[in-house]
């Protein structure tokens, strides 16, 4: 497979060099690729042959596929979106490159020990046949040092950044095959090493062995580890080093490629589109200014015009704690010249604002890149907005919210057209065809072709079969088999027996208070209490449930870890309660990752996407679950809203308060005007009674609901959450209607392919065209 990929990769790179059209560069600190083998076989359409060959050798393809270690260079949705986008870029034949970091350790492996999360390092590079070290492609990157400024004879000022510490970036290339096309794009990941080679021989020879090893290690540390935080900014110096290291190496590479064609600098934006995946690569704006002004000696305005025509910025969150801010003193020490450039960008920007709004003094401090706190901080999102041509959110509600909340002052300045929406999508190759081969085959059979895999709107052809009894049976049969496979996995890994006939209710995603796994587990406790209170006869009428959770907590996120502990504690009690039997089971799946998502998504009847309204920018697992024939329970948040619009509100279990009411509700909590929901109160009392073990362990969770002001509005949404779950139970009893609804829902999911998202970026933001690579 690897050899096949190289052949197509070479062909693609040659074709792209020859046509020399505008290319897209997708800069992301995270690429959550998962496994490659199965995807490569499917995209190259040789899996059937391979399965046959492997079985002739006496092996099973599933076993072989299972040997591969996930490439887990990401935390959650943001990193997986980047991976889906690479798949679509290649499939749609866009000349595109991904640029990222080659972390030696990806996201940690999660173990559950005595009910608690324990983090184990993920050393994944022992055997990785999918990467190609490019020792010929290196870039020296400087940190620290000082700026020397002098005036030339003609009066121009020159800034030279010098005297710093230098490390070397080495390229590792990963081929990205498109589906059913020879186009195989490149993902270039940078690895850090000392710039002087293996050792600093001077130090080494002078006997300072330890210090020379230390220098080497310091250089290697830069690309050593992925920061395991999702939706939170921590502001560590090493993270800023990672960002600059990666951005500087990538820009050097992009500029070198541009220079090969000897075009004028002003053509740069006609040849290059750079997309910033969140603010993590925002330094690219500053670095490109430095290259153009300090090294290429363009005047500031010409350089700034080039820069602001080149970049696009995607925002992925409105959570204030996730917006990146760098302390000015820390930044100045590490990147002194870049700080000066930021100050200049800010100065010219504020001057232009002042000219246009002379009476609005407040506006200047509100939109300044520098926040006048102590210490001062650099607001990276503001820098990204000012330095980009377009800014986009990732779902309609989210894109509206950024315009009315966190970035509203910029609408006044730039007008509304700079801000746009591109709703996220997922690749149907991995998330339908690869993850759910049975469903994919059934759909192909029914539609008479597998064209839907590259044109997902063709799924609409299924709708007319939604009431076809025979088809419904085949459809539900696929679901049953996928649930059986999951039930076996659960049995093998946890010892818990679950009945595949039960309603499988799944919430898998990073653990975060805003995603409200705590509300889910409180709901499970409430269900448990009502089952316990029932007579045998009443119990016999209840729908069996399996509540499945999975997800990692950031190692320093104590509340998230407490939520995991509550889930595991509840599972110990409920699963062993003889009164309850198979009516309710609670499972925590250890170490949720891409390859586990691939067998979880096909096995849900119901999945939960229950963030406090206005907090989840989009969500993408909501799309994966519906595409695999599950229904969802969710709030009016992120892409849930567009899913509702597409599939029809009778096919989604929406509940809870709306984003527009969240501020008022929070205000009411702050002023003590809300009593806790009675069902939630019962749940809290039960926890405090010690039913799930030492209550002190969970005190933080209870406190957050009471004195903590219930910031995520669990109490406000709890009643409607529980009553909506009752509707789910009722709906599940009617198998024919359930089958009908899931078929109709799948038939209307065409919009949520990442192919549609990528075509929107290409047309509305990048202005790039596909390149057809000959067979």
CB-nearer residue toward ligand GPW: 397 or 665: 397
Binding-residue pattern over the window 565 to 604 for ligand GPW, x denoting contact by CB under 6 A: ----------------------------------------
DSSP codes of every residue in 450-492: SGGGT-GGGGGGGGGGTT-HHHHHHHHHHHHHHHHHHHHHHHH
Is 282 a residue that touches ligand GPW (CB under 6 A)? no
CA distance 105 to 84: 21
Shortest Å distance, C-beta 77 to ligand GPW: 3
As a residue count, the chain comes to 775
Residue 295: active-site member: no
| Strand-pair partners of 27 | 99, 276
Catalytic residue among 338, 379, 624, 669: 624
701 phi and psi angles, rounded to 5 deg: -65, -40
Out of 47, 80, 188, 316, which one is annotated catalytic?
A: 316
Site string for ligand GPW, 385-414 (x = CB under 6 A): ---------x--------------------
Per the DSSP assignment, residues forming a β-bridge with 245 are none
- Please spell the DSSP secondary structure of 669-707, one letter per residue: HHTT--PPPHHHHHHHHHHHHTTTS-GGGGHHHHHHHTT
Asked whether position 443 contacts ligand GPW by CB under 6 A, the answer is no
Among 38, 87, 230, 755, binds ligand GPW (CB under 6 A): 230
Q: Using the rule CB under 6 A, which residue among 34, 281, 634, 638 binds ligand GPW?
A: 638
For residue 196, state whether it binds ligand GPW (rule: CB under 6 A).
Answer: no
Nearest residue to 574 via CA among 585, 563, 565: 585
Residue 582 phi, psi (nearest 5): -85, 5
Tokens of 573: 């009690």
Under the criterion CB under 6 A, does residue 318 sit at the interface with ligand GPW? no
Closest distance of CB 43 from ligand GPW, Å: 22
Q: Does 619 bind ligand GPW (CB under 6 A)?
A: yes
Least Å distance between CB 399 and ligand GPW? 11
Residue at token pair 């003609």: 154
> Do β-strands 653-654 and 631-634 pair in parallel, antiparallel, or remain unpaired?
parallel
* 754 is an interface residue for ligand GPW by CB under 6 A: no
Q: Which of 185, 317, 607, 635 binds ligand GPW (CB under 6 A)?
A: 317
Residue 688 exposed, middle or buried by CB count within 10 Å (0-12, 13-18, 19+)? middle
Structure tokens at 484: 């059986």
Is there binding between residue 231 and ligand GPW (CB under 6 A)?
yes
Is residue 146 helix, strand or coil?
strand
Q: Check binding of 758 to ligand GPW (CB under 6 A).
A: no
Tokens of 271: 């040849």
> ∠ at Cα 425 (110, 442), nearest 5°?
90
Q: Does 243 bind ligand GPW (CB under 6 A)?
A: no
3-state secondary structure of 20: coil
Note if 510 is an active site residue.
yes
First to last CA, the chain: 17
Active site residue 620: yes
Q: Does 634 help bind ligand GPW (rule: CB under 6 A)?
A: no
**Nearest alpha carbon to residue 756 among 635, 648, 644, 646:** 646
Contacts of 530 (CB under 8 A, 6+ apart): none
Nearer to ligand GPW, 75 or 472 (CB): 75
Question: Is position 434 an interface residue for ligand GPW (rule: CB under 6 A)?
Answer: no
Stretch that binds ligand GPW, among 8-16, 53-61, 614-622, 676-684 (CB under 6 A): 614-622
The reply to whether 637 sits near ligand GPW by the rule CB under 6 A is no
Query: Which position among 620, 635, 724, 753 bears the catalytic label?
Result: 620
With CB under 6 A as the rule, give the number of residues binding ligand GPW.
19
Closest among 237, 251, 73, 255 to 165, alpha carbons compared: 237
Listed in sequence order, the DSSP H helices in 357-436 are 361-367, 380-387, 396-404, 408-414, 428
Q: Is 77 in the site for ligand GPW (CB under 6 A)?
A: yes
Q: Which stretch binds ligand GPW (CB under 6 A): 76-84, 364-372, 471-479, 653-661?
A: 76-84
Rank residues 77 and 182 by Cβ distance to ligand GPW and give the closer one.
77
For residue 134, the cross-strand partners are 171
Cis peptide before 375 (omega within 30 of 0): yes
316 is catalytic: yes
Minimum CB–partner distance for residue 249 and ligand GPW (Å): 21
- The yes-or-no answer on residue 236 being catalytic is no
Task: Please select the residue that binds ligand GPW; options are 620, 628, 657, 741, rule is CB under 6 A.
Answer: 620
Residue 394 vs 531, nearer CB to ligand GPW: 394
User: Catalytic: which of 109, 515, 516, 585?
Assistant: 515
713 dihedral zone (left: phi>0; alpha: psi -120 to 50; beta) = left
Catalytic: which of 290, 510, 516, 651? Answer: 510
80, 509, 527, 740: which one is catalytic? 509
| Cα gap 548→504, rounded to integer Å | 7
| Burial class of residue 123 (count of CB atoms within 10 Å of its CB; 0-12, 13-18, 19+) | exposed
Taking the least distance from each CB to ligand GPW, the nearer of 78 and 141 is 78
- What is the sign, positive or negative, of the torsion defined by CA atoms of 375, 381, 384, 386? negative
| Window of 111-119, 314-322, 589-597, 718-726 that interacts with ligand GPW by CB under 6 A | 314-322
Q: Looking at beta carbons only, is 622 or 628 nearer to ligand GPW? A: 622
Angle between helical axes of 283-290 and 237-259 (0-180°, round to 10)? 50
Give the separation between CA 528 and CA 545, rounded to whole angstroms.
11
CB of 645 to ligand GPW, least distance (A): 17
Q: State which of residues 28, 39, 75, 518 lies at the interface with ligand GPW (CB under 6 A).
A: 75
Q: What mask of x and - would describe binding to ligand GPW in positions 319 to 338, judged by CB under 6 A?
A: ---x----------------
Q: Mark whether 666 is an active-site residue.
A: no
The piece of 370-378, 618-626, 669-677, 737-745 that touches ligand GPW (CB under 6 A) is 618-626
Chain residues in the site for ligand GPW (CB under 6 A):
75-78, 81, 230-231, 278, 316-317, 322, 394, 424, 616-620, 638
| Residues with catalytic function | 316, 509-510, 515, 620, 624
């Amino acid at each position: 497979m690897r050899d096949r990929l190289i052949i197509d990769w070479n062909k693609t790179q040659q074709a792209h060099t020859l046509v020399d059209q505008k290319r897209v560069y997708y800069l992301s600190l995270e690429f959550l690729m998962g496994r490659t083998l199965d995807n490569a076989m499917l995209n190259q359409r040789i899996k059937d042959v391979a399965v046959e060959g492997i079985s002739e050798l006496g092996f099973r393809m599933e076993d072989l596929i299972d040997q591969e270690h996930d490439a887990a260079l990401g935390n959650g949705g943001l990193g997986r979106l980047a991976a889906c986008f690479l798949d679509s870029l290649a499939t749609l034949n866009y000349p595109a490159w991904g640029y990222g970091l080659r972390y030696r350790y990806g996201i940690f492996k999660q173990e559950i020990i005595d009910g608690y999360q324990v983090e184990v390092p993920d050393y994944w590079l022992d055997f990785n046949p999918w990467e190609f070290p490019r020792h010929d492609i290196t870039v020296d990157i400087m940190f620290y040092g000082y700026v020397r400024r002098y005036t030339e004879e003609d009066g121009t000022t020159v800034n030279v950044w010098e005297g710093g510490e230098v490390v070397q970036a080495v390229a590792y290339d990963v081929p990205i095959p498109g589906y059913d096309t020879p186009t195989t794009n490149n993902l270039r990941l940078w690895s850090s090493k000392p710039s002087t080679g293996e050792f600093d021989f001077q130090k080494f020879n002078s006997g300072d062995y330890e210090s020379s090893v230390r220098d080497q290690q310091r250089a290697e540390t830069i690309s050593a580890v992925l920061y395991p935080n999702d939706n939170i900014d921590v502001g560590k110096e090493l993270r800023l080093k990672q960002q600059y290291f990666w951005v500087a190496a990538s820009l050097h590479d992009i500029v070198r490629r541009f220079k090969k064609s000897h075009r004028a600098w002003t053509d740069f934006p006609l040849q290059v589109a750079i997309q910033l995946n969140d603010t993590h690569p925002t330094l690219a704006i500053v670095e490109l200014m430095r290259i153009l002004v300090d090294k290429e000696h363009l005047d500031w305005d010409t350089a700034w015009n080039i820069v602001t025509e080149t970049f696009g910025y995607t925002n992925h969150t409105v959570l204030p704690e996730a917006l990146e801010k760098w302390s000015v003193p820390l930044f100045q020490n590490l990147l002194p010249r870049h700080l000066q450039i930021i100050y200049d960008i800010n100065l010219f920007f504020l001057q232009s604002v002042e000219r246009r709004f002379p009476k609005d003094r407040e506006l200047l401090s509100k939109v300044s890149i520098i926040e006048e706190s102590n210490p001062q901080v650099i607001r990276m999102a503001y820098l990204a907005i000012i330095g980009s041509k377009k800014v986009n959110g990732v779902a309609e509600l989210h894109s509206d919210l950024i315009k009315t909340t966190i970035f509203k002052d910029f609408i006044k300045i730039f007008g509304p057209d700079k801000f746009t929406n591109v709703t996220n999508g997922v690749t149907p190759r991995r998330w339908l065809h690869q993850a759910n081969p049975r469903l994919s085959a059934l759909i192909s059979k029914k539609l008479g072709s597998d064209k839907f895999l590259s044109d997902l709107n063709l799924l609409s052809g299924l709708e007319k079969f939604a009431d076809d009894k025979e088809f419904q049976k085949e459809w539900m049969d696929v679901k049953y088999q996928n649930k059986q496979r999951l039930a076996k996995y659960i049995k093998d890994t946890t010892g818990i027996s679950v009945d595949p006939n039960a309603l499988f209710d799944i919430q898998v995603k990073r653990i975060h208070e805003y995603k409200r796994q705590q509300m889910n587990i409180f709901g499970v406790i409430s269900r448990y209490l009502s089952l316990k209170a029932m007579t045998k006869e009443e119990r016999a009428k209840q729908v069996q449930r399996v509540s499945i959770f999975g997800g990692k907590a950031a190692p320093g996120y104590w509340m998230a870890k407490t939520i995991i502990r509550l889930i595991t504690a509840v599972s110990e009690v409920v699963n062993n309660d003889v009164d309850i039997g198979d009516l309710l089971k609670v499972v925590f799946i250890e170490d949720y990752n891409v390859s586990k998502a691939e067998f979880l998504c096909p096995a849900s009847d119901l999945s939960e996407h229950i963030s406090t309204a206005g907090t989840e920018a989009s969500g993408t697992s909501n799309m994966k679950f519906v595409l695999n024939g599950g229904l969802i329970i969710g709030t009016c948040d992120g892409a849930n809203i567009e899913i509702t619009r597409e599939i029809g509100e009778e096919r989604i279990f929406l509940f809870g308060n709306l984003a527009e009411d969240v501020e008022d509700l929070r205000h009411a909590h702050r002023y003590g005007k809300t009593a806790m929901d009675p069902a939630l109160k019962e749940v809290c009392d039960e926890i405090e009674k010690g039913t799930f073990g030492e209550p002190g362990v969970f005190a933080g969770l209870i406190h957050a609901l009471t004195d903590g002001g219930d910031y995520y509005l669990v109490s406000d949404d709890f009643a409607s959450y529980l009553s909506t779950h009752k509707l789910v139970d009722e709906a599940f009893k009617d198998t024919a209607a359930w089958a009908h609804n899931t078929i109709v829902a799948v038939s209307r999911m065409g919009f949520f392919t990442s192919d549609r998202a990528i075509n929107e970026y290409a047309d509305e933001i990048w202005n790039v065209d596909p390149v057809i690579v000959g067979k």
